[in-house]
């Protein structure tokens, strides 16, 4: 199938490249058959990246290659990509079958099957057998999105691009559709780029994730890597709940380093010599009342009951702290601690 490579892709809006910058030197390699997700807050450039891949927008700088072929100014209709939009973009004047079959007016169906068979196959793939004669406006939101997916896949594209395809759906539908997309993608083995602002969705569905912010890639990695070992403070705070602290390095204590924050001392995994300041994070779940290291007294402000757990927002020395506890705390003051190995160092600095 297809490997996608972006090299130094930049996009500047406005006349003569003097306007606002949407992308600043994005380098990405999406491997053949991979499910790759671009995730970030709105305005981070993830959709712009997708649109340059599809050919709807030309990058100001940099190159995009499909299997080594430079795309340059190849128009979208000759890139062999399937695109699914958040708004579904079904053609309202065509039936479901006509929508799915539209791309087959320009490309032969694969494997020598007829157009009708191909359309039927795809409707079956997205669990919409026999719905071909309906009009798009007779379908529910989830069904429409599945038609859009079938339509994008019908001409057997080299690359599937999904732009926030589930944002308009309610939470339960989103989860079942997510599993369906994931199943279809692995069945077909098609290289897929998925754009979402929902970090939980990104972690659940992807082979690899690229976290974007301000037109740049902050980190690329497998979901577990991005979650457990965030490369930057932005990633640590964007992906899941997190507590980020900064402290001064105060020498060593055996295999651990000693860190001071507001006069309190903490133990962290060994830090290389020469660093004076450290930024590290501790997941809420790692802070427990039972831990006997690195204890900090927390004033509880609010508690949110989430079912299995309770999310507690509190303060320690005026800093916001998020805890994940098994039950709503009974008093407004409690003390939690964390094991040194549960802290992840994000950044080191010299004074």
Partner 1 sequence: MSRPNRSERGARLRRRSADVRRWLERRALALTTLVTAGVLAVMLYLPVGVVFGEAVIDDGAATLAFFRAVLTDPFYVGVLADVFAEPLAVKTHLESLVGWLGAISVAVSFESPLPGVSLPVPWLALEVPPIRKGLFGFTAYQAALSTIASVALGLPAAYVLANYEFRGRRTLRSLTILPFVLPGIMVAVGFYAMFGRAGTLNQGLALVGLGPIPFIEWNPLAIVIVAHAFYNAPLVARVTVAAWESVDARSVETARSLGASPRRAFRDVVVPQLLPAILTGALLTFIFTFMTFPIVLALGGLQLATVEVWIYDRVRRLAYSEAATLAVLETLLSLALTYTYLRYESAQSGLARAATAPSRTPLFPDRRTALSPRRLAIVGYGLVTLVVFVGPLASLVVGSVTDGSGFTLAHYAFLLERQLEGASYQTLPWVAIRNSLLFGVATLAVAVPMGVVVSVVTVRAGRGGTIVDTLAMLPLAVSGVVFGIGLLRGLVFGVSLPGGWQFRVTGGVAIVAAHAVAAYPFVTRNVSPLLSTLDPALVESARALGASRYRALRDVELPLVASGIVAGAAFAFAISIGEFSSTVLLASGSQTYTMPVAVERYLGRRSGPAVAMGTVLLVVTAASFVVVDRVGGRFER
Using CB under 8 A, list all residues that contact partner 1.
54-56, 75-79, 81-83, 85, 87, 89, 91-93, 102-103, 105-107, 148, 151-152, 154-155, 161
Min dist CB 120 to partner 1, Å, is 18
Nearer to partner 1, 14 or 272 (CB): 14
On the CB side of 124, CA atoms within 13 Å amount to 6
Query: What angle is formed at CA 61 by the lines to CA 3 and CA 162, rounded to 5 degrees?
Result: 45
Nearer to partner 1, 76 or 329 (CB): 76
Min dist CB 225 to partner 1, Å, is 32
State CA 3 to chain mean position distance: 19
Min dist CB 123 to partner 1, Å, is 16
The CA distance from 58 to 22, in Å, is 12
Nearer to partner 1, 94 or 339 (CB): 94
C-beta of residue 87 within 8 angstroms of C-beta of residue 50: no
Min dist CB 197 to partner 1, Å, is 17
Min dist CB 141 to partner 1, Å, is 15
Nearest to 209 by CA among 84, 39, 46, 32: 39
Min dist CB 80 to partner 1, Å, is 8
Neighbours of 247 (CB within 10 A): 19
Enter the tokens of residue 237: 């705070």
Nearer to partner 1, 24 or 121 (CB): 121
Min dist CB 320 to partner 1, Å, is 37
Nearer to partner 1, 79 or 178 (CB): 79
Nearer to partner 1, 84 or 296 (CB): 84
Nearer to partner 1, 69 or 107 (CB): 107
Q: Which residues contact 141 (CB under 8 A, 6 or more apart)?
A: 88, 168, 169, 173
**Alpha helix positions (H), the chain:** 46-54, 96-101, 115-125, 141-153, 171-188, 199-205, 223-228, 233-238
State CA 130 to chain mean position distance: 34
């Amino acid at each position: 199938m297809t490997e996608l490579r972006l090299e130094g892709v930049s996009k500047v809006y406005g006349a003569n490249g003097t306007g606002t910058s949407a992308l600043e030197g994005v380098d990405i390699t999406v491997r053949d058959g991979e499910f790759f997700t671009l995730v970030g807050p709105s305005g981070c450039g993830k959709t712009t990246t997708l649109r340059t891949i599809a050919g709807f927008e030309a990058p100001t700088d940099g190159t995009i290659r499909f299997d080594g072929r430079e795309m340059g100014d190849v128009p979208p209709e000759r890139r062999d990509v399937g695109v699914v939009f958040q708004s579904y973009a079904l053609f309202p004047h065509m039936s479901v079958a006509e929508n799915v079959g539209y791309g087959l007016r320009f490309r032969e169906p694969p494997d020598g099957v007829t157009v009708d068979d191909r359309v039927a196959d795809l409707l079956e793939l997205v669990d919409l057998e026999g719905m071909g004669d309906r009009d798009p406006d007779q379908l529910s939101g989830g069904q429409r999105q599945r038609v859009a997916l079938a339509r994008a896949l019908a001409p057997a594209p080299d690359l599937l691009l999904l732009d926030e395809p589930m944002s308009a759906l309610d939470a339960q539908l989103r989860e079942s559709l997510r599993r369906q997309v994931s199943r279809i993608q692995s069945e077909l083995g098609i290289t897929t780029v998925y754009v979402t602002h929902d970090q939980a969705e990104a972690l659940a569905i992807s082979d690899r994730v690229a976290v974007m912010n301000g037109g740049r890639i902050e980190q690329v990695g497998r979901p577990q890597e991005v979650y457990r070992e965030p490369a930057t403070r932005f990633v640590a705070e964007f992906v899941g709940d997190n507590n980020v602290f900064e402290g001064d390095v105060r020498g060593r204590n055996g295999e651990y380093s000693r860190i001071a924050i507001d006069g309190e001392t903490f133990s962290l995994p060994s830090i290389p010599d020469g660093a004076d300041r450290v930024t590290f994070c501790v997941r809420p779940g790692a802070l427990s009342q039972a831990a006997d290291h690195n204890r900090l007294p927390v004033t509880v402000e609010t508690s949110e009951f989430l079912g299995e757990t309770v999310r507690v927002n509190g303060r320690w020395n005026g800093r916001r702290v998020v805890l994940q506890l098994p039950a709503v705390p009974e008093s407004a003051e409690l003390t939690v601690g964390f094991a040194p190995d549960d802290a992840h160092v994000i950044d080191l600095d010299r004074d």
